[in-house]
Amino acid sequence: MKRIFHIVAVMAITAIIFTGCSKANDNTQTSGNTEATKAAETTPAKEEEETVYPFTYTDGEGREITIEKQPTKVAISYLPHWESLILLGVMPAGTTSAAHYAKTWDAFQGYDLSSVVDLGDADINLELLAQLEPDIILQQSYNKESVENLEKIAPVVVFGPQVKMDWRYSLREIGKVVGKAQKAEEVIAETDQKLADARVKLQEKYNGKTVMLMSLMGEDKYYCAYRPDLYDSETGLGLKVPEGFTTSEQYEQVSMEALAEMNPDYLFVNVFDGDEAYLEELNNNNTVWKSLKASKEGHVYRLDGSGHAASAISTIYTVDTIIDTLLGKDK
């Protein structure tokens, strides 16, 4: 079967790449008994020593940052850091684009974000930041001038690309900085157990059925990536991908023709704020889309843009949405 993908660059927030390394789904099902045994064996959270302050942390740029006391007021400028902090029980004092994501990011539903100060849309408003008097500032990338300006306000920790690629690693590294290392392990263990428990039930109920997640990002712009938390048969939900689905964890653009060739039984679609009309157009007027098995059987399900991201809360949102949709009361 011809594979029709084109690798594309996707902008910073909408191209959060997906976690970890794992083997691709080989479209085979493991023994139900074996999987049931794995799910029944609850793995306790790894014991992790908490940070003792003063603490020197070597950041993603190899810089040694001395943190005198446990940070309680944390300022950030990168959405995945925000998500990791919330799961660690540390609400950031301020972040860029706070108002935007509080309104549009479905993964944040249920969290009280009212205390988070909006520090601007793109660049951090240094005046507002200084007024917050943060204990520490978390940055994703290094820019000498920017970091030097921020360091006039508080110590700055710069994280490398692995924090962007792997939400578990993100939780662990940020957990070290803010004194929540054990909490990070508890969140990871809880999520891994959720995946294991659901994997058994999904394989029993949907044996042989194909399921895929895609992102709709504008008119005729469809993107897919291999997400281990969803597709891996040993560590994820074990969803069976259709033949021709990408094995890349980087987002790739896929044509409507390729979607028709893959023709999944169940299709989850991430739709960003403002792009809802494009999905409505597909559902109502696109004959190829309407010919998909998922469409004909009423098995097309919408998520918001959070489903595209591989950051911590967004991943849990996506996993929970898929589990709730496919298992319902059987979960």
Domains and CATH numbers, the chain: 5-42+194-330 (3.40.50.1980), 55-179 (3.40.50.1980)
For residue 41, the model assigns a pLDDT of: 55
Residue 34 has pLDDT above 60, yes or no: no
Residue 77 has pLDDT above 70, yes or no: yes
Residue 10 has pLDDT above 90, yes or no: no
For residue 160, the model assigns a pLDDT of: 83
pLDDT tens for 117-136 read 999 987 899 999 999 999 99
- CA 256 to CA 89: how far, in whole Å? 42
For residue 83, the model assigns a pLDDT of: 97
Residue 161 has pLDDT above 90, yes or no: no
Burial 8-45 (b: 16+ CB within 10 A, else e): eebeebebbbbbbebebbeeeeeeeeebbeebeeeeeb
- CA 128 to CA 233: how far, in whole Å? 47
- CA 263 to CA 8: how far, in whole Å? 22
pLDDT tens for 266-276 read 999 999 999 99
Mean pLDDT of 217-240: 97
Residue 210 has pLDDT above 80, yes or no: yes
Q: What is the DSSP string of 257-303?
A: HHHHHH--SEEEEEE-TT-HHHHHHHHHH-HHHHHSHHHHTT-EEEE
